[in-house]
Structure 1
Amino acid sequence: MSEALDSVDAKILDLIQHDAALSVAEIADRVGLSSSPCWRRIKRLEDAGVIQRRVTILDRERLGLGFEVYCTVKLSLPTKENLDAFEQAITKLPEVVQCATVTGAADYELRIVTRDMHAFDDFLRDKILSLGLVSNIESRIVIRSVKNTTAAPLGLVSPYVSAQG
């Protein structure tokens, strides 16, 4: 973003990253602006790509999707073609809710959500291993989630003044 975030931008971002259902009028009231200037700021942040999208976070447990696993994946041969093929395949798998290229002995870290251990086993066999690209997978089953947030740590963004104050 070419312009630095000011404290009002930071307050707007803090509000909408915690509750995307807030109306522009509610946000404007909370940050001390009228609706039109507030809407223009939100639009500018969207146009700049700071606000990528607005989503609703679902309770996966209540939906029967409470089985969460982190998998470290190593490709058999990490060529550009294989990396591209793996990444393209992963983007099409709804069970993979997060995928990152990582440093170290592995190539990727996946966060996978599914119904249960059997569904996870089917997922690994039928969708990941069937790609023919993977040499090793190490899985860690989540026992209990201690912290799970989508909120960006806005207090680390310089040079803005804390939105909390």
Structure 2
Amino acid sequence: MMELDEIDRSLLRALAEDATQSAGALGRRLGLSQPATWRRIKRLQEVGIIAGRRLDLDKEKLGFGVTVFLGIKLATKGLVSLEAFERAVTAIPEVQTVEHVLGMYDYRLRVTARDIADFERVLRRRVMTLPGVGNVDANVLLSEERRPGPL
């Protein structure tokens, strides 16, 4: 694991706030030159600490007003069942995240839909027909108070 100094940690915090900042702007903020800042960013990318940059879209303004978390318990377990389920579920565009978890369920999915009727269509026609699906539990997101931030 790479050792991070305070400048690296400050750089990561600044990028987590706004990944669109230029190396020059970040350097001015951290007291570094633009080339020195760019070298640090490049190094953090090369070792995999910065795995990518994402665009944060407003789902509601794009017409997706419902988010549902699904707990999926597979009816059968085994390497073939897990791989078949994962391959099939990642092909559903409404499924935003797939998390293999330990506990009451085998998987936790974050599903985004236009409305409840659209979610019901996704659930009935796509999720419930996936290979190995047993029990499904749904929790509708009412509000999200804290957005993911820096570690």
- Give the structure 1 partner of residue 100 of structure 2: 101
Q: In the TM superposition, what whole-angstrom CA distance separates every residue of 1:73-94 from its partner, at most 9, and x where no partner exists?
A: 0111011101011111222222
- Give the structure 1 partner of residue 130 of structure 2: 131
> Bigger relative contact order, structure 1 or 2, given CA contacts below 8 A and separation 6+?
1
Q: Aligned partners of 1:132, 1:91: CA distance in 2, in Å?
A: 12
Deviation at 1:106, TM superposition (A): 1.2
- Give the structure 1 partner of residue 119 of structure 2: 120
- Give the structure 2 partner of residue 24 of structure 1: 23
Q: Aligned partners of 2:131, 2:11: CA distance in 1, in Å?
A: 46
**Aligned structure 1 segments of 4 or more residues deviating by more than 2 angstroms:** none
Deviation at 1:148, TM superposition (A): 2.2
- Give the structure 2 partner of residue 163 of structure 1: none
Q: Aligned partners of 2:65, 2:17: CA distance in 1, in Å?
A: 22
- Give the structure 2 partner of residue 13 of structure 1: 12
Answering whether residue 150 of structure 2 is matched by residue 152 of structure 1, we say yes
Q: In the TM superposition, what whole-angstrom CA distance separates every residue of 1:90-142 from its partner, at most 9, and x where no partner exists?
A: 22222111111111221011111111111111111111111231011000111
Deviation at 1:47, TM superposition (A): 0.5
Q: Which runs of 5+ in 1 are unaligned?
A: 154-165
Q: Aligned partners of 2:32, 2:147: CA distance in 1, in Å?
A: 31
Q: Aligned partners of 1:53, 1:104: CA distance in 2, in Å?
A: 30
Q: Aligned partners of 2:94, 2:127: CA distance in 1, in Å?
A: 11
Q: Which runs of 5+ in 2 are unaligned?
A: none
- Give 3-state SS (helix, strand or coil) of 1:139's partner: strand
Give TM-score scaled by structure 2 length. 0.95
- Give 3-state SS (helix, strand or coil) of 1:26's partner: helix
- Give 3-state SS (helix, strand or coil) of 2:57's partner: coil
- Report the RMSD for the aligned CA atoms in angstroms: 1.1
Give TM-score scaled by structure 1 length. 0.87
Answering whether residue 54 of structure 2 is matched by residue 55 of structure 1, we say yes
- Give 3-state SS (helix, strand or coil) of 1:131's partner: coil
- Give 3-state SS (helix, strand or coil) of 1:86's partner: helix
- Give 3-state SS (helix, strand or coil) of 1:15's partner: helix
Deviation at 1:152, TM superposition (A): 2.9
Q: Aligned partners of 1:135, 1:107: CA distance in 2, in Å?
A: 10
Deviation at 1:13, TM superposition (A): 0.6
1:43 counterpart letter in structure 2: K
